[in-house]
Amino acid sequence: MHISTTDYLPGYTIETSLGIARGSVVRARFFGRDFIASLRNLVGGEVNEYTNLLAESREQSLERMILHARSLGADAVVNVRFTSNTIMEGTAEMLAYGTAVTLKKT
């Protein structure tokens, strides 16, 4: 499965646009992680606990988007984007989305 943030893939022509492929994950904060993060916040610098949580969320939402694209019959997803939204305090959604397409090698 080809994934791209651009609207084309070099060496390929988009044959068919199949619509939006998307994948999301909703994650809640964890007390233990929050406690350590709050201690790091006192001294400044990167909060690794949240950096890792967001990285895991991006990967999982991307995997789910790819599964959705495959179910649509896609060879690729172009114009891939990520967004996040707060669902409620301490809970956030990470969404990966793009256009599912079929390709023809040029």
Measured distance CA(35)–CA(40) in Å, rounded: 9
Measured distance CA(43)–CA(26) in Å, rounded: 29
What residue ranges define each of the domains in the chain, with the CATH number in brackets? 2-105 (3.30.110.70)
C-alpha distances in Å from residue 66, one per residue of 10, 18, 38, 46, 97: 20, 13, 35, 30, 9
Residue 46: per-residue pLDDT? 74
Residue 50: per-residue pLDDT? 77
Residue 26: per-residue pLDDT? 94
Hey, what are 86's tokens? 């707060």
Query: Which regions of the chain are under pLDDT 50?
Result: none
